[in-house]
Structure 1
Amino acid sequence: MTIVRFALAGAAALACAGAAQAQDFQPKAQGQWMLNVRATQVSPDAGDPIVTAAGVATGLRAEVKDDVMPTIGLTRFLTDNIAVEVIAGTTHHKVKAQGPGTDVVVHETWVLPPVVSLQYHFAPQARVSPYVGAGVNYMIFYSGEDKNGFRVDLDDGFGYALQAGVDIAVQGPWSANLDVKKVFFETDATINGGALKSKVKLDPWVVSAGFGYKF
């Protein structure tokens, strides 16, 4: 979380400096593209029970750790107010089995969660331009590595996302960006060939801060 807070502070400081030094900025407009480069923290909201193949509770739960990575977002303005954004980035997560007297890493995996969202920008001509969005994502798990004698399989699949953010114009085509997404996604985790299993609601918060360029 420290990295994201630092990025948020930096983005806000640069936006304030730009506002103080210059009043010329490029507003959002139909036909534009915007490229955003961000520092992004992905924080899964897991903690679901691990059960046996017969559905008997084990007392353990599946926990998935956070990660921070750079991401890229590309936005196309269909009108001054309406835009489509695609984000791409990949994060690395540890999967742990936790419970009374147990706290063990069972798997590590890379995750590619591209999100395509339709956005509404409330004040495209203003320096401070908030927006909301909604879209779909496809969660891809790859380069997984089993740990401590466990074998874990995670199912890829579709989810959906809600989004809110703000662009703060700095100068010319440059802007600072703050963005929050809530992704709703559930995966089936199969452990040791099905001896254990868990339906894991990842439902991550995706919190980003960075800079954008219009062209």
Structure 2
Amino acid sequence: MRALPPPRPVRHSSGWLYALLILLPGLCPAAAASESPWFATLGVSTISFTSSADLQGPQGRIPGAAIDIPDTQTLVAELGYALTPAVDLRFLLGVPPNLKAEGRGSLQAAGTLLEARIAPAMLSVTYQFNQDGRIRPYIGAGVAYIMFLNTQDGALDNAQADDRFGQVLQAGVDIPLDASWSLVLDARQLYWKTTASGNATSFGGMPVSADLEPDPLMFTLGLSRRF
């Protein structure tokens, strides 16, 4: 039995964000004048991926090769700060879900190419409409950073994938339950590209790489509390 490679080290890159969140109350005194500007949300997210991939070997593109990434679910936590009554800054982290890349087309027989734990982190700014209404829709945009915490071999030996930044478009609705609690329905479209590589056992150990555009669509149902 082949031993799995050791987990890749986790890179921490959000120290600047924590410093920004600490400074925000002083930078935005107007938002804090009437009530606490801080809020937090816990939720369950379903993540759907596209199947766009370009698989390359030493001689160029592998004909008929495709990759499919099944949907997955995870728990997420979001910390928010009201910059104004209508504008919120939001930072979201997710419990690392398991991502699988499965062979399709000429790679159908290979099965699972690799598995990885990914850690999504997103920073966005949203604008809320109808602030005093019973239903409060919002839209926003931001950036995401997707980290691969560890990668396990499947039909690819020595499998690895690159951490990358991406862009986020966001829309949702906030439904107040009382003065502090609210129900949140949120959708985020991530535009994210990465590169995976390894040695394909089904092609005699040939080195291959894939330019992936998973472009995850993330739906979240959560409960939010303002502090």
Instruction: Give the letter for the 1:75 counterpart.
Output: G
Query: 1:133 maps to which residue?
Result: 140
CA contact (8 A) 1:186 1:203 kept: yes
RMSD in angstroms over aligned alpha carbons? 1.8
What do residues 160-202 of structure 1 show as CA deviations (whole Å, max 9, x unaligned)?
1000000000112010000000000000111219721111001
Equivalent position to 1:93, from 99, 102, 108: 99
What do residues 21-77 of structure 1 show as CA deviations (whole Å, max 9, x unaligned)?
xxxxxxxx9331111111101111123132213323232112212111110111100
Query: 1:17 maps to which residue?
Result: none
CA contact (8 A) 1:39 1:208 kept: yes
Query: 1:19 maps to which residue?
Result: none
Higher RCO, 1 vs 2 (CA within 8 Å, ≥6 residues apart): 1
SS in 1 for 2:131: coil
CA contact (8 A) 1:63 1:97 kept: yes
Matched, 1:204 2:216: yes
| TM-score w.r.t. length of structure 1 | 0.81
Query: 1:163 maps to which residue?
Result: 170
| 4+ aligned runs moved over 2 Å, structure 1 | 100-103, 148-151
Structure 1 stretch 41-50 or stretch 156-165: which is displaced more?
41-50
Matched, 1:77 2:82: yes
CA contact (8 A) 2:151 2:161 kept: no
Query: 1:12 maps to which residue?
Result: none
Equivalent position to 1:59, from 61, 64, 71: 64
Distance 2:74 2:49 in 1: 14
Distance 2:104 2:198 in 1: 14
Closer/same/farther in 2, CA of residues 194 and 168 from structure 1, 3 Å limit: farther
Query: 1:10 maps to which residue?
Result: none
What do residues 113-139 of structure 1 show as CA deviations (whole Å, max 9, x unaligned)?
100001101122222111001000111
Instruction: Give the letter for the 1:199 counterpart.
Output: D
SS in 1 for 2:132: coil
Query: 1:38 maps to which residue?
Result: 43
Shift of 1:149: 5.4
SS in 1 for 2:215: coil
Distance 1:70 1:106 in 2: 25
Query: 1:25 maps to which residue?
Result: none
Structure 1: gaps (5+ residues): 1-28
Query: 1:11 maps to which residue?
Result: none
SS in 2 for 1:30: helix
How many residues of Structure 1 are paired with residues of Structure 2 in the alignment?
187
Distance 1:136 1:194 in 2: 35
Quote the sequence identity (%): 27
| TM-score w.r.t. length of structure 2 | 0.77
